[in-house]
Structure 1
Amino acid sequence: MAQSMKSGVNTRTDTSARTGEGIGGALVVLFDMVATWSERRRQRRALEALPDHLLQDIGLSRADAATEADKPFWQG
């Protein structure tokens, strides 16, 4: 019985290491989130800087671009 408990603990540890859980997985998730936020902010600033004729080409008004650019970086 003691052996089966030991085996279960080792299996659990091995499984979490294989699936990327733990501090390494958390760091990957954090890095991906920061990269997404950075890209979202860059795209919104670029959209805001477009001239009116280019906004019209993609079917947006100046107000639409301003509304999108005013969103916080963490909001999708």
Structure 2
Amino acid sequence: METSLAARRSFAEAAEGASRGSRAVLSVFDTLCLWRERAWQRRQLAGLSDHMLTDIGISRAEARMECDKPFWKG
């Protein structure tokens, strides 16, 4: 997912000098990248063992609640 974060940063920097229309396109791109990142993180969280979840201080129930959220909800 580092690629997604790097892309979001570079597009955010490009948006500073962009026109209004370009900023809108970049904003949509940024949102799509964020949603993709959330979906990936939740898939990774779902795959953690109970031992790993305990190590990071999250119960299985908390992990399940987070993983059940749709990608567009933070």
Partner of 1:59: 57
Cα deviation, residue 23, structure 1: 1.6
Calculate the TM-score normalised by the size of structure 1. 0.71
Cα deviation, residue 21, structure 1: 3.8
Give the 3-state SS of the residue equivalent to 1:43 in structure 2: helix
Give me the identity figure in percent.
47
- In the other structure, the counterpart of 2:44 is 46
Q: TM-score, normalised by structure 2?
A: 0.73
Q: Which runs of 5+ in 2 are unaligned?
A: 1-15
Structure 1, unmatched stretches of 5+, are 1-17
C-alpha distance after superposition, 1:48-71 (max 9, x if no partner):
110000000001111111000001
Indicate the RMSD between aligned Cα atoms, in angstroms: 1.4
Q: Which has the larger radius of gyration?
A: 1
Report the secondary structure of 1:74's partner residue.
coil
Number of aligned residue pairs: 59
